[in-house]
Structure 1
Amino acid sequence: MFTSKVDTGLLSYLQENNTGEEYLFATLTTVIAAPYIIHTDESVMALDGFNGTDPILTVSELKKFIKEGKVKYFLLSSDNSGNSELVSWIKKNGTVISSDDYSSSSSSTSSSIQQGMIGGPGGSHNQQTLYEVTS
């Protein structure tokens, strides 16, 4: 069974600092995005599709999304095996948000009957870093 936790501190930080962006944040995989979508009904962008190997945007398209104010936060895991161009660009142009700014000891759990999702690329066992990218 797929089980993933939503970091309520991170969620609160993102919601409080949203300035009208369409997406609460973007991440590489649906595995990371899904619990936040389910828990909040917010839009979260999976930049590399379901498991991190199906890129949906180029760097220039992502720049356009940022410039248009559609997304500014990016949650990247330590195992970024997906679109290395996007990851490199986000890391180069983004500002790391310290986990001290949002960390929470509480979390809620979302679960699904889908099998085999935990621990995949960008899965929940990896350390995650939040970046802010603005135009």
Structure 2
Amino acid sequence: MYIWQSRPVQIVVGVAVVKRGRVLAAYRPDPDGGWEFPGGKVEPGETEEQAAVREIREELDLEIKVGESLGPAVDISERYRLHVYRASIVAGDPVLREHAELRWFAPAELDEADWLIPDRPFVRRLRELL
């Protein structure tokens, strides 16, 4: 008898860092690349908010304060689900470490960028809030 076991879904957090009405985005250069909210996987024992703080510290050398969620999580694939939070900078200036480029977008510029598909619903919500 075969028992089907699904793998647990891994939550991935993205962070929309907002400063003076502009949003920080990171460019992922791989073949399916594009602009995204920086972030990463939630590790065992972490909350999504704790993961967001840790990931932004590791990726951008920023200390942030995590704010509200930008809406329900969206599926990236069968195994990954993306949840994006708005955040503000507490300390530091962004340092490019893991992406090809960083850019501050004004609200009117958000639609001009080639966003990764899972990030797009959060871009729309963020534009409404700015």
Q: By the TM > 0.5 criterion, same fold?
A: no
TM-score by length of 1: 0.26
Higher helix share: 1
Larger radius of gyration: 2
Q: What TM-score does the superposition give when structure 2 sets the normalisation length?
A: 0.27
